[in-house]
Structure 1
Amino acid sequence: MGLPALWVTHPSFALTRNQQTTALGNGVLPLQALSAIRLALASA
């Protein structure tokens, strides 16, 4: 997704994990899926 570190997780925001996930939306899913596929292929 390419967001800066602590984009929604910085302690000063005081967001719950659920609020952080909502703020990120589903934008992280494709990048996480790509990582999972690469790991699976590397271990095959």
Structure 2
Amino acid sequence: MGLEPGHVTAVPGLSRAAQLTALGNGVVPQQAARALELLGATTLLNASRSDAAP
């Protein structure tokens, strides 16, 4: 998932069910980075279009 080994599993006292819940509710870092790239590209594209409009 792009996380360091033990990111969730090395947490003391965290049950297997809690580990799976934490991972299931998390955002994969690569997905978040790509989403930000796309949002940034869309924002720049929209800004350049509005600057060119009369």
TM-score, structure 1 normalization: 0.49
TM-score, structure 2 normalization: 0.41
Q: Which of the pair is proportionally richer in helix?
A: 1
